Amino acid sequence: MSKNIINFIVTIVLAYVLSLFLPWWSVMTAALATALFIPLRKAAVFFIPFLAVLLFWFVMSYFLSSGNDFTLAKRIAVLLPLGGNPYVLMLVTGVVGGLAAGISAIFGKQLSLVLVGRK
């Protein structure tokens, strides 16, 4: 398997495990750790964790919202300029989490370069 797929899968699994015990920023910790230990190149450093957390948060918000027939998601989507569409709200949620994870993965990559440079 390529490093991209391994990083994608490990980021999702680590984000899920950490989200059981930590608040929302646990996805940032997961992305930082995977970028630190599974090095990626160029734009993949940002986009692989971004897509992993986007998918993770979209799926988690879907499962959590489907339990109550999307009642709360519909009400929040009405408050935001989303036209009352709960699926767009889930996508926005995923994008926010993905941005946080992508930026922290860039930090993890930069941290790994600094640590390797000290040897």
Helices and strands counted in the chain (H then E): 5, 0
pLDDT in tens, 4-53: 999 999 999 999 999 999 999 999 999 999 999 998 888 999 999 999 99
Show the domain range for 97.
Answer: 3-117
- pTM here is 0.90
SS3 112: helix
SS3 69: coil
Q: Which of 73, 60, 46, 45 is nearest to 12 (CA)?
A: 60
Using CA atoms, how far apart are residues 105 and 60, in angstroms rounded to an integer?
A: 21
The domain tally of the chain equals: 1
